[in-house]
A = this chain, B = another copy of it.
Amino acid sequence: MSLETHFSDRLVARIQQIESRLVVGIDPRLDRLPAEISADDPEQALSRLGEGVIEAVAQHAAAVKPQVAFFERHGWRGWRALETVCAAAARAGIPVILDAKRGDIGSTAEAYAEALLGDEPGTLGCHVDALTVNPYLGSDSLEPFLVRVRDHGKGIFVLARTSNPGGAEFQCRDDDAVPIFEQVARSAERWGQDSLGECGFHGVGLVVGATYPDDITRVRQAAPGSILLIPGVGAQGGSIEDLAAAFDDSGLGAVVNSSRGIVQAFEQDPERPWQEMVQEAARDKQLALQGVSSAG
């Protein structure tokens, strides 16, 4: 993967090349494996599932988003599987958005940036294009990640408005003149100015749940240069129709995540080859998202 270019330009090029705004979330669970994959060896099971999903969605996913928790769940062997899966995606030319939601300060934030967005052999960062981060600790806590965005062509997606029912509790309080999520979005627009790509977007994206369409509009207005990463479509209740405000009139500006709806698609028909089912689910979602743009 070339890091000479801005992350935003690489992602937008990929979106246009395969005509997909779909991010496939990889959240592997050992209790929900295809019959062909045994859970006896957790590391091998996680690796085989992840690699199989990547192969199946290679022409349909603008990016893949491995969820670190489901690998961490299996200790160091899970971490080794995570490295295998991220490397497989990188080899297939699919951008990797690592969903780790890290956030810390000072030398600890620097260590996370080295670990997950760096380029040292033996670290995950070599295979990762972008990382999800948590803004609660403030601008200075994000600086080590922003250095990788500005100078090394990496991207981050900052949590703004999350898709869960309790997301408003701190992010969007009734009495706040400016809710925190909107302040985060405004800040992201500022943080991103040094990584503006030729595509018109920068490397500091934002996570905004599909479950709160009005807040997508507010985030879009506060951060016109951020690429939005939108979870919460499907199982969590968000609908594709409600996402128009996230996109510009060329249909750019956001990617939409689907995890279980794709990775677990094989459960619908155990008689058919599992990767075929995953591929079909990804293609269906890819096509459904092709119609979405702010031009209606």
Give A residues with C-beta under 8 Å from B: 27, 42, 67, 69-70, 72-80, 82-83, 99, 101-109, 111-112, 114-116, 122-124, 134-141, 159, 162-171, 173, 175-178, 180, 183-184, 187, 236
Question: Once the chains are docked, how many angstroms separate the CA of A77 from the CA of B121?
Answer: 12
Residues of B within 8 A of A107 (CB): 27
A158 to chain B, nearest CB (A): 10
A-B contact pairs, 29 of them (CB 8 A): A27-B111, A69-B108, A69-B111, A69-B115, A70-B111, A74-B115, A74-B122, A75-B83, A75-B123, A75-B124, A76-B77, A76-B82, A76-B83, A77-B122, A79-B79, A101-B103, A101-B134, A103-B103, A106-B236, A134-B134, A135-B136, A137-B164, A137-B167, A138-B164, A138-B168, A138-B170, A138-B171, A139-B166, A170-B183
> A42 — which chain B residues lie within 8 A by C-beta?
122
Q: Is the pair A140, B111 in contact by a Cβ cutoff of 8 Å?
A: no
Q: Is there contact, CB below 8 Å, between A76 and B76?
A: yes
Question: In the assembled complex, which residues on chain B have CB atoms less than 8 Å from the CB atom of A75?
Answer: 79-80, 83, 115, 122-124
Are A111 and B162 in contact, with the CB atoms below 8 A? no
User: Is there an interface contact between B141 and A166, defined as CB atoms closer than 8 Å?
Assistant: yes
Identify which of A72, A183, A187 gathers the most chain B CB atoms within 10 Å of its CB.
A72
Copies in the complex: 2
**Among the interface residues A73, A103, A167, A169, which one has the most CB atoms of the partner chain B within 10 A?**
A73
Which residues from chain B contact A122 at a C-beta distance below 8 Å?
A: 42, 74-75, 77
Contacts of A124 in B (CB 8 A): 72, 75
Q: In the complex the two chains form, is B164's CB within 8 Å of A134's CB?
A: no
What is the CB-to-nearest-CB distance from A257 to chain B, in angstroms, rounded to a whole number? 12
In the assembled complex, the Cα of A125 lies from the Cα of B139 at a distance in Å of: 31
Residues on B with beta carbons closer than 8 Å to the beta carbon of A165:
138, 140
Given A76-B79, A124-B75, A134-B136, answer yes or no on A69-B166 (Cβ-Cβ < 8 Å): no
Interchain residue pairs A-B with the least CB separation, the first 3: A138-B166, A140-B166, A138-B169
User: A103 — which chain B residues lie within 8 A by C-beta?
Assistant: 101, 103, 134
A79 to B137, CA, bound (A): 24
Which has the most chain B C-beta neighbours within 10 Å: A75, A99, A102, A134? A75
Instruction: Give Cα distance in the complex from A80 to B183, angstroms.
Output: 39
Q: Would B175 and A177 count as touching, CB distance under 8 A? A: yes
- What's the minimum C-beta distance from A33 to chain B, rounded to whole angstroms? 15
Task: Please indicate the chain B residues that have their CB under 8 angstroms from the CB of A111 in the complex.
Answer: 27, 67, 69-70, 72-73
